[in-house]
Each structure stands twice: as structure tokens, then as C-alpha cells.
Chain A
Amino acid sequence: MSRLLIRTPSQAQAVVDNLYGNMERRIAASPPGLCPVDMALNFLNLCHAQSCGKCTPCRIGLGQLSTLMRQVLDGEATMDTLETIRTTAQVIVDSTDCAIGTNAARLVLDGLEGFKDDYISHIRDKHCLGSLQNPVPCVALCPAGVDIPGYIALIAAGRYADAVKLIRKDNPWPIACAYICEHPCEARCRRTMLDDPMNIRGLKKFAVNNAGYVPNPPCAPKTGKKVAVVGGGPSGLSAAYYLTLMGHDVTVYERHKKLGGMLRYGIPAYRFPREKIDEEIANILSVGITVHTGINIGTDAAFDENVDITFEELREEFDAIYMAIGAQTDKKTGMEGENSKNVMSAVEMLGRIGDDDMPEFTGKKVVVIGGGNVAMDVTRSAVRLGAAKVSCVYRRRQSDMTALPEEVEGALAEGVEMLTLQAPVRIEADENGCAVALWTQPQVIGPMDKAYRPRPMKADLPENRIEADLIVLAIGQGVETHGFEQMGIKINRGSIAAHEDSGLPTGDGVFAGGDCVTGPATAIRAIAAGKVAAANIDEYLGFHHEITTDVEVPTPRFNNKPPHGRVNLLEREAGERKCDFSCIECEMTEQEAQIESTRCLRCDYFGYGNFKGGRSEKW
């Protein structure tokens, strides 16, 4: 008998390890709308199979929980059953010997709270509240409900202009989304079950760049109604576009010199080239929208010289108003020295870049505070402006940053230093009031908060001094709400309070949407809000115009899709791209677009799609 052996996994174990990977992908691709009780039961069964079987609550208790939950699903339970489930789960949480049982039972407890109504519906009415309202995962997860399988099929058929037309039915910003969308559509792509999600944004980018000129649909006959849109960003212009197509007379008021909102004044050109945003806006405006830039809308022109037009004047002149002013004020840290010279906000810096007023960074040591996408935009812009050294200071770990991982990696590749677990304490200024350094308190990572993100705690280490010629704060944005209450607009937690249909509680023809309602969010959510507002403003004005398209999507009839790698977009090499503001991302070749588009599983047809309909042809 040998004293020690080299451990090699058995063949069975190797296969099981593969299956774990398979299951992970499968869970990632769970469509929205499934019965949460059924899912919880099956998660519980999986957990039970992981049990070593030693201690009573885990070995037997999890099994009994499973039986009780099955009774609920089979309509055999009473309200007492719920209580038994709760007690049993709590006992398991409190008394198992290890994490396997505790965590499994906690999952059940969380569900009892989180989807109580579903449990009760199963018990009382013998049916499930859940249903697959939209059978196509990508469409269901796109805030604007863009017909994604439809345009991918059109790309596969080489009909790029039709693909753009189809996108514009639900989203008038196909180019913007091709470049900068956070693509929530990819999150639960069914293709993930096989290999990887579809590269939806990449395909869209190929389509918009190869479609040529794509005309807009004709506008409906003039209604004679006038709508004012305050704010010329993605949300405001989306509403303006659809309302104009519906035949209304739309005027957009924009405070900045140019239209585009955060797409221009928040997103750097290396992610979304200026000529592309100009092209997109020109197309949106081509349907016949009146635009006034450099106009401030406010409460009272007599007291505030910045106000060009008052809100009351707008109300008098227009039949409806859509407020889409975004979230464009910067948040402050409140730390000592924050108001020193050479300290600026991300909004100010990116805003100046948006107006081609490039700040002087050459040769400077730049310190950026924050860990979100805006912080990455700032660091990477600073690199391009010729800074000698750019450091990003963040309280938690790099993996806790809210910025997309690829943004962080991109910044790192371009030479940005990530100084993590450093909480900013104060800014040191010289005798002229100029910032010279940022002092930070090192942190140690701590327990999870409610959102399951670890909280940083003070480390037993002395403060750090980080030398800086320039400090940029990128710690979040807010909505400019000053004076709104006076205009009769309700503010809720720093944002405009609006209903799901984007109407304000006052209900007098004033609507609001986008960042100014949600707080800083994604472009596609702002676009979706504009679409919702357009539909409801149209109804408010007494019409029911439908937005539709004449594009016919090819029907798939052959489902034979072996696993196949995903086509990823390449980037220009870091050493080259960091010297300019040109687009960093390359696009697919025609060959790649063909390969990628044919990977689509066409959930609009296969599975639930050809039964309950995978396509809404109008809205």
C-alpha cells in the first residue's frame, strides 16, 4: 500500500464537473416569467443532493420541505402548510452543522417572503401567478422590446437596411445602441444553454454600419396638436421621433449647445464616435422635429436670469409636455478640500469634452475617485488627453466595481492604475488653494450588505497620500430638481415622481421619463421611456396611432444548431488607441456577421414562439 497517491478525478467526476458547467449556463439562461415556487422547489432539490447526509435537519428536513412545497404546487396544501414550511426552514437554518443545509433552507425562507403571493395563489386558487408573457428572452429583457430575433434573421438574410428599419420600429437610436448599449438582451439568451449568448450588440453594429441610407416611415397626417419635449437626450428625442411620426407637432428644448444628452456629454467619443451620434440625430430630426438648443426652462424668468422660457409658458403653448431632462448634476463627497482648484466633476469634464472644449491634462498626474462606468470614462479620457499618470481610487475591490468588467480591463490595458480598498478622506491643497494630493484611508473588505455587495471597513493601516495635479470626482449624478415643486412637479427621492405610463400624478398633460425619473440609468431605458411616453401622450391627446413596419421577417423552418463559439468584437491595440479619441472597438467582418447571425436559435419561432407569438408587429 502506497503511503500517498496523486489525486486524479474519476471519469464520473469529470463528467459531473462538465454538467455543473452546463447547469450554470442553463440557470443563466432562465427566461423571465417562470413559476418562482417551482424554481425554488427544484433549487432546493439540487441543494438536497449536495447534502453529505450527516445531520438531521439537512438530510431529512430539506426532503420534507421539498414534499411540502410540492404539495403547494399540486394544490394540496393549506395555509397551515405555509406555516410548517416557514418553521421547518427556520429550524434548518438555525440547526444544521454546515453551510449546505443552512443556505438551502435560507433560499426557501427568502422565497416565502419574496414571492408570498405566488405561494398563496397556488394554495388558494390552485394556479400560478407566473406566466411566460413574452416567450422570447432577449425581447422580454430589452426595455424597448426591440424585435431582436427579427433583425438578426434579417442580418442573416443580408437585409441590413430592413434590420435597421425593424429596430427603428421600437428604438429610433439603432446606431447609439449598436455602439454603447449595455445589452440586457444578451443576459438570458437561450443560446447560453448551448455555448455563449448571441453577440446581439455586435450584430446590430454590423447592420447599422452596412445598411446605407435607411429612410424613416412617413408621418401620419397632421393632428394639429403641439407637444413640447424638454431635454434633447435619448429619451426626449425618442418621444419626439415617435410623436412626430404620429402626426403631432413636436418642439424640443435643449439646455446644451448640442443635442444628444449623455450620449454626447457623458459618453466619450472613443466609445461612441461624434460623427455617428450626429448621423443618428440627423436621422431622428429628419422626420420634422423643431429644435431649440441653448434654452433653459425654469420657473420664473423675472427672478432667474438663466431662465429663457418658463414652464407656465410651455403649458400655455403646448397640448402636452414631456420632461426628459436627465440626471446631470454631480454628487459631492463632502470631504475636506473638495472645493480646491484643480478638483472637477466627471459631468463637468465629460461635458467640456462633449463640446470639444478639451481640458488641459498634458503631463499631469490625474486621480479619479469612483468605480463606475463614468469613472472609467473619465480615466480613459484622461489618458487620451495626455495625462502622465492616471489613478483610479476606489473604496472596495476591483471585482466590486460597478463598471462593466471590460471597461475596467480596457482602462488597465491603457495604463490606468487601480488603487482599490482606498477610501478618500480629504484633499490636500497648497497655499494657492490648488489640490496637490488625495489622502486615503486603506480599507479591508467586510461583510455583505443587503444587495450582497461586501462593505469596506477601516483597515488597521495608516493613511495614504496620493500625489495629484488634478482630481476628478466620478461618484454619481443626480437630477436638477431645483424649483420643480413650485411648478407643481412632485419630487420623490431626488427624482421626478411619474407613473409607469410616464404621466405625472397631476395628470394634466405633463409626462416625464428617462434618467430624471429613474436616476442615472442606461440609454436603452431612457429610450424605452420615450417610447412609452409617446404612446401615452398620443392617447392623452385623443388618438391611437400605431407604430408599425412593413418589414417581413423570414420564417425559420430548420432547427439544427450544433454548439459554436461566439464571435466577439476586437479592440484596437491599447498602445495605439490610448493616444486618440477614435473608436476603440472594431466591427464584425461580413463573414463573422454571417456566422454569428446564424447562431440565433430563433426563439420567436421555436419553442413557445410559434405558439403564443414571438413578435409584436405594432404598438
Chain B
Amino acid sequence: MVNQKLVTLTIDGQQVSVPAGTTILDAAKTVSIKIPTLCYLREVNEIAACRICVVEVEGLDRLVPACTTLVREGMAVRTNSDRVKRTRRVNLRLILSQHDANCPLCIRNGNCTLQELARDNNLIYNPYPKNIPNKPWSISNYIIRDESKCVKCMRCIQVCDKVQTMGIWDVVGTGSRTTVGISLNRTLAESDCALCGQCVTHCPVGALRGRDDTQQVYAAIKNPEITTIVQVAPAVRSAWAEHLGLSPEEATPGRMVSALRRLGFDYIFDTNFTADLTIMEEGSEFLERFTHRDQYAWPMFTSCCPGWVRFIKGQYPQFVDNLSTAKSPQQMFGAVAKSYFAEKMGLDPHKICVVSVMPCTAKKSECAQPNQNDACGDPDVDIVITTRELERMLRGDNVDTTTLPESEFDSPLGTGTGAAVIFGATGGVMDAALRSAYYLVTGSNPDADAFTAVRGMDGWKEATFAIPGAGDVKVAVVSGLGNTRRLMEAINKGLVEYDFVEVMACPGGCAGGGGQPIHDGAELAQCRGDILWELDKNAPIRFSHENPDVQALYAEYLEKPLGHKSHHLLHTDHHGWEMPLNPKLK
């Protein structure tokens, strides 16, 4: 409720005029005065818990937090007085007395808000004795919580509650033992967590991390018996070098391919290839359902996001049959690599290791689903690493990204169209599907930019497109599980009706995924998504059905979309594995 009336105050002697309803923190920003924060996360965690952002206001006895205190006319604020600095330093030292500040051995070394604050405040010793709490946590979990690093900022709880509406994290205990745990006294594995990883990317320190699987990748690479195949998800190319010293313009997909080659993978392939394949299968499936309306439950949902699949299984199990049976691009890739590609190259599929680089923590659980083994009986995808793990491997191998040449993905599973690369942004799957569905019905291509209504950062978008010969197709696109729940409630209550719905669990889609590089306080889904839309715009081919290697795959091996072989390799039974239910449904 920002009132447009202007309020004038002084901050460190500078006069500032800002709209009424502005916080001291934001008012200071308008005159380039930085007030340090730790727990604060705009619109998500405004609880003034850490007391690092406290400032002095003339006439008040006590200091006030800049993050939640609103400006008042004539207020005189000091952000750097002795009292403020002393308070900030003491509070930091108190937090550090319960933080396992063994920075070299921390995953967030060099990218930690607490480390930065300690450095900026010149803290070189701590008079308070160390009293570091510990709590057991299985490190085989996809998401790992380290009590000894938690600063109780409560951001994980808030992101999970407010943005994702999952309520997995909760406050545990009272008094000095107040901490964070899984709600309702469950373990993570017992919970209905979607594994989206938003808690990890919003943790200011190293208390939450995704499971690190890089050592398994190194082991596969160095094993001469094993052929290593890496696939890279669309959204990874928008973020892979954010912490590696390259500007977005320099961090091209070509450089990324060279970097992966330097790590020693035998084949560098692209999940874009199977994103195009997904469009062929899912697009055909949609048309099949659309032309046999009575035989199916509506709407049809996309199935490429494992966080979303976990969500629907755990929260709205009655809608599982509305999911497309098409596997996700990652899993299609594994299945094709260990069948078609292995046969083509004369490789023993049991000696192939398929590694995925994903912007996602839930993908690690997807590849471990017991029924994702259709090519040869082994898991179709062996190891999933996140964008952050790729970054760690490149550092570990001392790959100097700034001197890398451009190189091409390998053939044939390295070919992708503009329609595939946008899978990494909200609306992209829908956009790509509509482009090909239009072609499949009419026999001619639409304008590749005919479906822009599904693009953009709105959490819930809807549009109706006329496809000549098929009729009006009513679609919706949501991203973020909070928006998803709103949509599901509306569908459940019959308030909205759609034919086809794209869901991505992370706000903004995979570009903002829980496996992407972490920049505290910054939401980068939009600018990463823009990179992907730009790649699409400049792609020589912008329709999945025109991908020549996908066409070859059908001609040589699969025959046709939804054919017998496709059904076996590229589709899955979403009932084939167990997912804990939301406790409210029990």
C-alpha cells in the first residue's frame, strides 16, 4: 500500500524524498547509501530477525531495523554512527558464535552473505565462545541441511510457505533452541517436498545445499571402460558462467561446450535435442487427446518439470492422469542415448554413463525413479549435476573460461532448435508445443512469434489460440508452486477451464531453478530467460518438427510419434513410483 505522498527525511545528513510507505532501507538505496542486511528478502522475509540492518533514528531510545521501519516526515536517520556500527558488529559476532565458520570447507565459500558481512565489518576475532549446534541429517538426501551453519534467518521457511506454499520447513523448538526443521516432526524423505530447491537458492549461507554428485562424474570420466555422455539442459547455458568471470555476452553455449570438453566427457550433447523430441511426442499426444476429447480428463498438463510432477502427486493426486505421459527431455535423452545412439555407435549401453547438467535439484530424484530404465534396464540417466556443480567442476579442473574457444555440440544428439532452448523459461514449453501442434494440424508453420502471450514473468498467464482445423485451444502457463496451487484450486473448483497447461515449479521456470548459481537478494530468472528467448530468436530453425536429427531419429528408429517404440522409450507411467502425500490429504 504505497501512498504516493512524498516524505522528506535525512539519512546520514543527506536529504531524501521518497513516497510514504517506503522503508528506511529502500529510502537509503535511492541516495546510494547501502545498509547491510542478512535475513531480509524482499516481499518474502521481512521479519527483522537478524538485527544487522539496524539504524539510529534521532529522538528514539532504541535502534530500529531499516528493513521494516517506514520513513516519517522529518526523520533523521544515521546508518553508520558508532552505536550502529557497534550494534552491527556485536550482532554479527553473536551470529558467528553459533555458526561453524570453517569457511574454506564450506560450499558457499566466496558466495556467502555472512562471510561478506564479517569481512566488511573487519571482524578478525570473536570474544564470544563458540557454541555450535548440530543436528543429524542424512547426506544422501537431495537437499542437505547443516544445522551448524544455519543463521535462523527463516528465509527457507518463508520461501517454502509464501512462494511455493509447500510448508515443508517450519520453526522447531522455542527459546534458545529455536531452529528450523521439517514441519510436523517429519523427515525430509517422509515429507511431500517437491525438491524444487528454492530454499537452497535463497539461503544466505551454507546451511542448505543440494547433494554434490561431482565425484561420481569424475569417477566415470576417468574409467576407460565407460563412455561418458553429457547432456546440458536449456537453462544451464543462460547461467553457467555467472560466477566464472564471463559476461552474459561472453558466456555463449559454444564456450560452454568447450568447457565440458575440457572436463573430459566423450560426447557433449544437448537436452535441446530431446526437448524437440518431447514436443513431437507431447504435441502429438495433445492433438490425440484434443481430437478424442471424451476419452481424457482435462486439462492436459506438461510433465517435463519433476518438481511439478512431485507436486501434483503429493498435493492433487486425483489429477495425475491429466499429466502428459511423455517423459521429461532429460529422461528421453537417457533413453535415446542408451538405445538408438548405443546401437548406432555399437556401444554397450551398460557401459555408457549419461550425465545431465540441470538447473534443478528435483532432476536428481527424477533420474532415480525406479521406472526410468526403459532403454537397457539400467537407469536411463546415471548422474545429475546442477549448474552449480558444473561450476565447481570447472573450477576444480582449473578451466580458464575466458580463453575458451567456441565449439559445437556433438552429433546427432546435440542438435536443438529455437523451440527447444526456450524450455528453460516459463511459457517456453507451451510456445514450442503450439508452434508444432499448429504445424501438425495445418501442415504449415505459424509465425514463430505467434504465441508471445504465453511468454513473460507473470506467475499465471492464459491465452486462447485458434488453430485452423482444430478449433480454439485454451492454454495456461504457471510458474512457482504458489501460483500452481492457486491454478489447481481454481481448476478443482471448476472456476477455470483449459485444454493445455504448462507448469514449472520454480518462479520464472528453469532459468530460476533451484540448481542455478546463487546471487543473494537477486532474482535472475527474468534476465536468464531473456537470454534463452534471444537464442530462440536468432536460431536458424525455430520449430521442433524441423529438427533434422529428430526427423532422422524417427525415420531410422522410432518410426513415428506415439508409435510402439516411442511409447516404450519416451513415455512413462506416473503411477510407477511412490510420493508422500500432503498430510492434509491423509
Task: Give which listed residue, A557, A610, A611, contacts B70 with CB less than 8 A.
Answer: A557
Given contacts A126-B135, A558-B69, A562-B61, contact A611 B154 (CB under 8 A): yes
Q: How far is the CA of A537 from the CA of B129 in the complex (A)?
A: 57
Whether B494 is near chain A, meaning CB under 8 Å from some CB there, is no
Residue pair B46, A610 in contact (C-beta under 8 Å): yes
Q: How far is the CA of A557 from the CA of B47 in the complex (A)?
A: 11
Q: How far is the CA of A131 from the CA of B178 in the complex (A)?
A: 9
Residues of chain B with a CB closer than 8 A to A75's CB: 135
Whether B122 is near chain A, meaning CB under 8 Å from some CB there, is no
Across the two chains, which residue of chain B brings its CB closest to A41?
A: B175
Residues of chain A with a CB closer than 8 A to B176's CB: 38
Whether A486 is near chain B, meaning CB under 8 Å from some CB there, is no
Residue pair B49, A611 in contact (C-beta under 8 Å): yes
Whether B123 is near chain A, meaning CB under 8 Å from some CB there, is no
Residue pair A560, B62 in contact (C-beta under 8 Å): yes
Residues of chain B with a CB closer than 8 A to A560's CB: 60-62, 64
A484 to chain B, nearest CB (A): 36
Task: Give which listed residue, B47, B174, B185, contacts A33 with CB less than 8 A.
Answer: B174
Residues of chain B with a CB closer than 8 A to A562's CB: 61
The interface bits of chain B over 51-80 (1 if a CB of A lies within 8 angstroms of the residue's CB, else 0) are 000000000111010001110100000000
Residues of chain A with a CB closer than 8 A to B154's CB: 611
Given contacts A126-B135, A127-B181, A127-B185, contact A611 B172 (CB under 8 A): no
Q: How far is the CA of A611 from the CA of B185 in the complex (A)?
A: 20
Whether B173 is near chain A, meaning CB under 8 Å from some CB there, is yes
Given contacts A558-B70, A562-B61, contact A73 B47 (CB under 8 A): no
Whether A34 is near chain B, meaning CB under 8 Å from some CB there, is yes
Residue pair B177, A38 in contact (C-beta under 8 Å): yes
- Interface size classification for chain A: 20 to 34
Residue pair B61, A610 in contact (C-beta under 8 Å): no
Residues of chain A with a CB closer than 8 A to B72's CB: 558
Residue pair B173, A127 in contact (C-beta under 8 Å): yes
Residue pair B68, A38 in contact (C-beta under 8 Å): no
Residues of chain B with a CB closer than 8 A to A610's CB: 46-48, 68
Residue pair B174, A132 in contact (C-beta under 8 Å): yes
Residues of chain A with a CB closer than 8 A to B490's CB: none
A587 to chain B, nearest CB (A): 32
The interface bits of chain A over 120-159 (1 if a CB of B lies within 8 angstroms of the residue's CB, else 0) are 0000011110111000000000000000000000000000
Q: How far is the CA of A413 from the CA of B70 in the complex (A)?
A: 50
Residues of chain B with a CB closer than 8 A to A13's CB: none
Q: How far is the CA of A125 from the CA of B62 in the complex (A)?
A: 40
- Of residues B64, B176, B181, B185, which shows the largest number of chain A Cβ atoms within 10 Å of its Cβ? B185
Residue pair B173, A557 in contact (C-beta under 8 Å): no
Whether B376 is near chain A, meaning CB under 8 Å from some CB there, is no
B177 to chain A, nearest CB (A): 6
The interface bits of chain B over 160-190 (1 if a CB of A lies within 8 angstroms of the residue's CB, else 0) are 0000000000011111110001000100000
Whether A47 is near chain B, meaning CB under 8 Å from some CB there, is no
Tell me how many residue pairs across A and B have CB atoms closer than 8 Å: 55
Q: Which residues of chain B in 11-55 are interfacial with respect to chain A, using CB atoms and an 8 Å cutoff? A: 46-49
Q: Which residues of chain A in 7-40 are interfacial with respect to chain B, using CB atoms and an 8 Å cutoff? A: 33-35, 38
Residue pair B175, A131 in contact (C-beta under 8 Å): no
Q: How far is the CA of A4 from the CA of B2 in the complex (A)?
A: 71
Across the two chains, which residue of chain B brings its CB closest to A557?
A: B70
Given contacts A127-B185, A558-B69, contact A35 B171 (CB under 8 A): no
Given contacts A127-B185, A611-B49, contact A559 B175 (CB under 8 A): no
Given contacts A73-B177, A560-B60, contact A128 B69 (CB under 8 A): no
Residues of chain B with a CB closer than 8 A to A33's CB: 174
Q: How far is the CA of A138 from the CA of B517 in the complex (A)?
A: 44
Residue pair B174, A611 in contact (C-beta under 8 Å): no
Residue pair A611, B62 in contact (C-beta under 8 Å): no
Given contacts A126-B135, A610-B48, contact A557 B174 (CB under 8 A): no
Whether A612 is near chain B, meaning CB under 8 Å from some CB there, is yes
Task: Give which listed residue, A125, A131, A559, contacts B174 with CB less than 8 A.
Answer: A131
- Of residues B48, B69, B136, B175, which shows the largest number of chain A Cβ atoms within 10 Å of its Cβ? B175
Q: How far is the CA of A38 from the CA of B173 in the complex (A)?
A: 10
Residue pair A612, B171 in contact (C-beta under 8 Å): yes
Across the two chains, which residue of chain A brings its CB closest to B1?
A: A555
- Of residues A33, A558, A559, A611, which shows the largest number of chain B Cβ atoms within 10 Å of its Cβ? A611
Task: Give which listed residue, B46, B47, B68, B174, contacts A35 with CB less than 8 A.
Answer: B174
B153 to chain A, nearest CB (A): 11
Across the two chains, which residue of chain A brings its CB closest to B21?
A: A557
Residue pair B69, A35 in contact (C-beta under 8 Å): no
The interface bits of chain A over 26-61 (1 if a CB of B lies within 8 angstroms of the residue's CB, else 0) are 000000011100100000000000000000000000
Residue pair A557, B181 in contact (C-beta under 8 Å): no
A133 to chain B, nearest CB (A): 11
Q: Which residues of chain A in 36-92 are interfacial with respect to chain B, using CB atoms and an 8 Å cutoff? A: 38, 73, 75
Q: How far is the CA of A558 from the CA of B135 in the complex (A)?
A: 37
Residues of chain A with a CB closer than 8 A to B61's CB: 560, 562
Q: How far is the CA of A130 from the CA of B46 in the complex (A)?
A: 25
Q: How far is the CA of A128 from the CA of B181 in the complex (A)?
A: 11
Task: Give which listed residue, A73, A126, A127, A557, contacts B69 with CB less than 8 A.
Answer: A557
Task: Give which listed residue, B48, B64, B136, B174, contacts A558 with CB less than 8 A.
Answer: B64
B458 to chain A, nearest CB (A): 25
A598 to chain B, nearest CB (A): 15
Q: How far is the CA of A34 from the CA of B175 in the complex (A)?
A: 7
Across the two chains, which residue of chain B brings its CB closest to A613?
A: B161
Q: How far is the CA of A367 from the CA of B539 in the complex (A)?
A: 100
Q: How far is the CA of A162 from the CA of B484 in the complex (A)?
A: 34
Q: How far is the CA of A132 from the CA of B171 in the complex (A)?
A: 9
Q: How far is the CA of A125 from the CA of B174 in the complex (A)?
A: 16
Given contacts A73-B177, A131-B174, A562-B61, contact A611 B68 (CB under 8 A): no
A38 to chain B, nearest CB (A): 5
Q: How far is the CA of A128 from the CA of B174 in the complex (A)?
A: 8
Q: How far is the CA of A471 from the CA of B175 in the complex (A)?
A: 54
Q: How far is the CA of A612 from the CA of B47 in the complex (A)?
A: 9
Across the two chains, which residue of chain A brings its CB closest to B185?
A: A127
Q: How far is the CA of A612 from the CA of B180 in the complex (A)?
A: 13
Q: Which residues of chain B in 182-221 are interfacial with respect to chain A, using CB atoms and an 8 Å cutoff? A: 185
Residues of chain B with a CB closer than 8 A to A611's CB: 47, 49, 154, 158
Task: Give which listed residue, B48, B60, B174, contacts A34 with CB less than 8 A.
Answer: B174
Q: How far is the CA of A126 from the CA of B48 in the complex (A)?
A: 28
Across the two chains, which residue of chain A brings its CB closest to B62?
A: A560
A194 to chain B, nearest CB (A): 13
Task: Give which listed residue, A38, A125, A132, contacts B185 with CB less than 8 A.
Answer: A125
Q: How far is the CA of A131 from the CA of B179 in the complex (A)?
A: 11
Q: Which residues of chain A in 99-129 are interfacial with respect to chain B, using CB atoms and an 8 Å cutoff? A: 125-128
Q: How far is the CA of A327 from the CA of B70 in the complex (A)?
A: 52
B540 to chain A, nearest CB (A): 52
The interface bits of chain A over 546-561 (1 if a CB of B lies within 8 angstroms of the residue's CB, else 0) are 0000000000011110
Residues of chain B with a CB closer than 8 A to A558's CB: 64, 69-70, 72
Residues of chain A with a CB closer than 8 A to B172's CB: 127-128, 131
Q: How far is the CA of A612 from the CA of B49 in the complex (A)?
A: 12
Residue pair A131, B69 in contact (C-beta under 8 Å): no
B28 to chain A, nearest CB (A): 16
- Of residues B49, B72, B173, which shows the largest number of chain A Cβ atoms within 10 Å of its Cβ? B173
Residues of chain A with a CB closer than 8 A to B69's CB: 557-558
Residues of chain B with a CB closer than 8 A to A125's CB: 185
Q: How far is the CA of A557 from the CA of B158 in the complex (A)?
A: 20
Residue pair B177, A35 in contact (C-beta under 8 Å): yes
Q: Which residues of chain A in 548-587 are interfacial with respect to chain B, using CB atoms and an 8 Å cutoff? A: 557-560, 562
Residue pair A35, B185 in contact (C-beta under 8 Å): no
17 A-B pairs within 8 Å (CB atoms) are namely: A33-B174, A34-B174, A35-B173, A35-B175, A38-B175, A125-B185, A127-B173, A127-B185, A128-B174, A128-B177, A130-B173, A131-B173, A131-B174, A558-B69, A560-B60, A560-B64, A611-B47
A-B contact sample (10 more), CB < 8 A, given A35-B177, A38-B174: A34-B174, A125-B185, A126-B135, A126-B136, A127-B172, A127-B173, A131-B172, A131-B173, A557-B69, A560-B64
Nearest first, the 5 A-B pairs at minimum CB distance are A557-B70, A611-B47, A128-B173, A35-B174, A34-B174
